Structure 1
Amino acid sequence: MTSILTNTSAMSALQTLRAINSNLADTQDRVSSGFRVGEASDNVAYWSISTTMNSDNKALNAASDALGVGAAKVDTAYAAMESAIDVVDEIKAKLVTATEASTDKDQIQLEIDKLQEQLTAIAQAASFSGENWMIASASASNTVVVDGFIRNNDGTVKVTTAEYQVASYALFDSIDGGVGSGGILGSVMSVKLTSMSTTGQISAYLDQVESALGEMTIAGAALGAMITRIELQDDFAAKLSDAIESGVSRLVDADMEEESAKLSALQTQQQLAIQSLSIANSSSSNILTLFQQ
């Protein structure tokens, strides 16, 4: 039955065209944005995962930036420790020279005085971003370097850190009046030769210097271990960030080859649906021929 009030063919063709236009709009959005899941309504599960992981990745990148600052602090402290070891080695050599009875111990002490001044200068200069790990009073007893960001199984997050014991490894406890005191080098700063210094006294000074060198070696090793850890963590953070980006990409990025093929097919379907709707609409006008004389 043909009705002039209801055109079921046109209604069917219109529904098909609307569905095609909707799919075409979705495909065009994916092509233009590059996202298969651009908002929660596209896929709640994937959108939720990608949003959380993108947030964690930003935090991880921020931790990597903080790691760079920490690396600079450690490098500064290590450079100071290395330079201080060289100076103490010089003091040790001067003391060995002073054990010879014919040497002028007063002149040797003048050299040692300058070396001791250099040790104070090294400790004072070893500052980065307001922190000086070579002077105990200039920093907290234990300082930390941010080295990572993790998400626990229960959903809580945590910033991981590496610790350096300033109180144990500082060259000086404090510097007063331009002279360092206490700390690893406190005994080295007490070396004072005179023309009357005996071999036994010089030997005692050598023992003090040797003990200080041992402690400085331990401190340098602690700094070296931190440098290694920071370098490894930096490499790992970069790889982890890339892995997170790759994983999120698999969840939400559009396959451009697939979307391009869909776009061409839907454009063809749209044209055919429009043609079908046009045919369906024209069928009603054919009824006029029934009433022609």
Structure 2
Amino acid sequence: MDSILNNSAALSALQALQMTQQSLNTVQNEVSTGLKVATAADNSSYWSIAAQLNADSGVVSASNDALSQGQSLLATASSAINSVITTINSIQTALTQATEPGAQIGSINTSLASLGQQLTDAVNAASFNGLNVLNGSVASLNFVAGFNASATGGTINTIAFTTQALYGLTTGGTATSTTSQSAVTDAATIAQLQTQWGADTADTTAVTAGTVTATYGKDAIYENTATQQFTVQSKALDGTATTTVYTALDGNGNSIAQGGTPTFAAAASYAVTTTVTTPASQNLLVQNGTDLTNLNVTSASSAQTALNDVNQALSAVTDYAALIGATQDRMTTANTFNTALMTNYANGVSGMVDADMNTASTQLQALQTQEQLGIQSLSIANQNAALILKLFQ
């Protein structure tokens, strides 16, 4: 049935044309933006995943930027510490010359003073962006190294680095102690102890604990009747402190008891305990009281002693240089991984939201053809209504 009120053919052609034009608009947007998912309306799931990946990639990129600063800081320190090692080698040469008979000690000391200044110059100059990991101004650092993404957000990955001072610290440090103890079993020594202190704890000798009883050279001897012990305290020139606890001493301050607990009744502890306390080295360039930045020798003997301490300093400095190098290597690995991670993020986002331009170009041409045909079809359908006029002629 033909009707002038309802042209079904024209309506069908119009609907088909509208659908073609909608598809054509979508493909044209893909071609112009390069995205098949440009907004959440295009594909909410892919769009949200891509947005999160882009955000994570931005954090990883920022982490790499921060990591580059850390690498520059350690590179500066590494350059300075290499200079320090070279200078220490020169100090070793000078001290070796000082051990030779007839060495010009005065000239060698002048050279040592200059080399010591070179050490402090290198340490003080090893600063990057206000940070110096060689002079003890910072205790530890946590370098930003990456980002651990998770479903709930993520955490920053860091590389911890504990600094050591080559020179510059004046306080602090923790001493280390070693303790040894021996035992007494022979009856003669036990009898000697009984004679000196008595067979019980009722010794009432009027000597206050901690009172200096006698001195021998640099040693001080304290008597403590409460514990029935003598304490000998001595300190070497290099600062090493030795504290020895005895249960009996002869007139020259020597131990006559070699430790142990006697078997007689009500006996106190007669063990001989020796504790050697070594102060922690706060500065790697100061070993056993020898300061490499302020060396002065007076003889071949003192030069040999200083040379031994310089060798220890060199070992400590090279160990620290190795730590810096290992941290640099870890940073390089982290940087490489971050770069690869950002590439993976970019590829993942591209796979979800980027348009396939080969497919889009093919679809564009096909839809343009369909649009032309749809317009032609609508035109033909609209002409059908005009044919009704011929029925009334």
Normalized against structure 1, the TM-score is what?
0.91
- Paired residue for 1:191? 295
- Paired residue for 1:178? none
- 3-state DSSP of counterpart to 2:146: strand
Paired residue for 2:307, among 200, 203, 206?
A: 206
- 3-state DSSP of counterpart to 2:158: strand
- Paired residue for 1:83? 83
- 3-state DSSP of counterpart to 1:54: helix
- 3-state DSSP of counterpart to 1:161: strand
- Paired residue for 1:19? 19
What amino acid is the match of 2:326? A
Query: What CA deviation, in whole Å up to 9, does each residue of 1:109-162 have, x standing for no partner?
Result: 10000000000100111111111111112xx2101222212203x432122121
- Name structure 2 gaps, 5 residues minimum: 171-280
| CA deviation after TM superposition for structure 1 residue 40, in Å | 0.7
Please, which moves more after superposition, 222-231 or 185-194?
Answer: 185-194
Paired residue for 1:163, among 160, 164, 168?
A: 160
Task: State the distance in 2 between where 1:86 and 1:165 align.
Answer: 24
- The structure with the greater share of residues assigned to helix is 1
1:138-287 to structure 2, matched below 5 A, reads 140-152=138-150, 154-166=151-163, 169-174=164-169, 183-186=283-286, 187-194=291-298, 197-199=299-301, 201-287=302-388
- Paired residue for 2:59? 59
Q: Which runs of 4+ in 1 moved over 3 A?
A: none
- Name structure 1 gaps, 5 residues minimum: 176-180
Larger radius of gyration: 2
What amino acid is the match of 1:240? L
| CA deviation after TM superposition for structure 1 residue 49, in Å | 1.1
Task: State the distance in 2 between where 1:80 and 1:164 align.
Answer: 17
What amino acid is the match of 2:356? D
- Paired residue for 1:48? 48
Q: Percent identity?
A: 37
Task: State the distance in 2 between where 1:165 and 1:85 align.
Answer: 20
Task: State the distance in 1 between where 2:350 and 2:366 align.
Answer: 25
Query: What CA deviation, in whole Å up to 9, does each residue of 1:166-200 have, x standing for no partner?
Result: 1xx2211349xxxxx95111332343213xx351x
Question: RCO (CA 8 Å, sep 6+): is it higher in 1 or 2?
Answer: 1
What amino acid is the match of 2:167? F
What amino acid is the match of 1:224? G
The aligned length equals 279
Provide the aligned C-alpha RMSD in A.
Answer: 1.6
- 3-state DSSP of counterpart to 1:65: helix
Whether the 8 Å contact between 2:98 and 2:300 is mirrored in structure 1 is: no
| CA deviation after TM superposition for structure 1 residue 163, in Å | 2.0
What amino acid is the match of 2:148? I
